[in-house]
A and B are shown apart, each in its own frame.
Chain A
């Protein structure tokens, strides 16, 4: 095994980066519309919500948990924020933090239920997902809130050349999350618990607390994604989040996260979301049936897990 290839393989996001560069070059060559300012803006805008959704799942994967309720939680937060602003007349400045706090609380609930009962996170969050969706539909009767404050709508649609202002939020989130996971004590504990729960517990880390922290963080990130989705759509739709489940797992896993916990990559997840946005954009430009997106996303996840597995075997980390 020559060392250069070995080194290249060790960097898990190398393949995604290569795919992004190749894909963009190909699209730029094939479609003149690809490099237009408006198309780049559209792509970047669709990237914003997706990235936060990916992060929301990534933090639970970090501790070896999962959160099936990201989408349902996001949908609930979106309609609550919309309802507060439209029906109760709460100003945006108060309604948005309140809605994000509710998202954090829902995450906290997931964490506490998982930790206190010792039932695995899959079934707990499957159940809470159904409950959150039920509350969402019960409140809205499936009717969206259309009258959003103009400030929020402007934030979701205005741009500086190709740069959507919406993107400020995910950039801040990426930096904070990166620093949190690499530089802070709770962040390191999160990965330690995911990597080896026993060793972490023996070295004095409270596994329960960290699990709850991860779920709360996941809820907060999903809530932020929901607010961005409301800004982007210009209305609080009850269907927000209904298609997040696959995406939320696709991004971190393509980005190289280990499903067993302990290993996630902020950069990898970001690159994966860029790749997904690029593929979706390419399909729109090629006027392919929209159903292909679903097919390709599924294939991409399978390819990624296969590749990760192969890399683990090759580099001898398995």
Chain B
């Protein structure tokens, strides 16, 4: 029992204890699909509204800007999604991201490494820090929330001590050039990277044994353990993947900004990292993921952010909007869940 993390959310754990993971994930898939169509409609509606109110919204330069930040938001969402799949969470995504940013910056600027080596170094660090999280969670049996809350502070503190919070501003020009590159006039190559990662994750969860094991472990750790899923290992792998994705998002930001800054990431990523997956229909209780949903969820966040900016509503109110949208989304999801449950009971 020691290596199965305590399920933190009593209420939702009742549901997982009684249903079988495969049936559950199938229902989750359908529920997710209807959520995604609704979400997509909202995003489309917002695009119509914003482009009517502010013609500048669909200008090539704004579209390019939206695409660039969307790419980062998607990958941040993925980095949270992969641990939500196991029923855990990772509050350290922002800290891991910024650690990778600063290491990459150091390797490029101070150590004079070639770009591929520096990128690999940053990614490796992200994966290693994620692995540490997973290892600590599985070995202590303490829930992911508190371990990653503590490690977030630990990682961020260590990064600030080592880097003295000095940004790396004179990176090789190729880095910034890649961030400014436009395909067909308004698409950032970063967006393709995000979509490629999404495709890889989709294949992982839909078509591989590991992906199924992760979902099984998230849906019901005890049942998964009994049917031979190495739950502890699966959790460690998921956290490693989360760290790797957080590092990827960080490095994408380096390309976007053309510099490695200690102020990116940290707690700023916390809300966006949950917004994407939760809006997209990933259950916090674990056992289900919505890869496409996470991408649309991130699109909603990016659209609202950019729209408010173009309408000059002021960035200050953005947080309020994001909070209300998250509330509305989880409530809608909750009531849809209740509705589906009633309907399936009625059929029996």
Contacts and interface: CB of A to CB of B under 8 A. Distances in A.
A292 interface: yes
Contacts of B270: 126
B278 interface: yes
Given A122-B145, A134-B317, A129 B323 contact: yes
Of B151, B161, B323, chain A has the most CB atoms within 10 Å of the CB of B323
B326 A127 contact: yes
B322 interface: yes
B153 interface: yes
Interface stretch (A85-93, A111-119, A218-226): A111-119
B48 interface: no
Interface stretch (A23-31, A33-41, A95-103, A136-144): A136-144
Interface string A275-304: 000000000000001011111111101100
Contacts of B9: 120, 122
Contacts of B165: 291
A306 B316 CA distance: 40
A309 B143 CA distance: 11
Contacts of A305: 140, 142, 146-147, 150
Nearest to B271: A130
Interface string B5-44: 0101111100000000000000000000000000000000
Interface stretch (B189-197, B219-227, B327-335): B327-335
B6 A260 contact: yes
B157 A123 contact: no
Contacts of B326: 123, 126-127, 130
B154 A295 contact: yes
A134 B323 contact: yes
Contact of A294 (B160, B321, B322, B327): B160
Contacts of A197: 10
Nearest to B164: A289
A229 to B, nearest CB: 19
B284 interface: yes
B319 interface: yes
A16 B322 CA distance: 40
A166 B270 CA distance: 33
Contacts of B150: 298-299, 301-302, 305
A126 B276 CA distance: 14
A299 B157 CA distance: 10
A246 B136 CA distance: 18
Interface in A194-214: 197
Nearest to B149: A249
B6 to A, nearest CB: 6
A127 B323 contact: yes
Interface string B184-216: 000000000000000000000000000000000
B327 A128 contact: yes
A273 interface: no
Contact of A306 (B140, B321, B322): B140
B324 interface: yes
Nearest to A249: B149
B190 to A, nearest CB: 25
Of B146, B147, B317, B334, chain A has the most CB atoms within 10 Å of the CB of B146
A138 B146 contact: no
A298 B274 contact: no
Contacts of A299: 150, 154
A188 to B, nearest CB: 20
Closest 6 A-B residue pairs measured CB to CB?
A134-B320, A295-B157, A130-B323, A298-B153, A131-B323, A298-B154
10 contacts: A66-B145, A113-B327, A117-B334, A119-B334, A122-B9, A123-B330, A134-B317, A259-B146, A298-B155, A298-B157
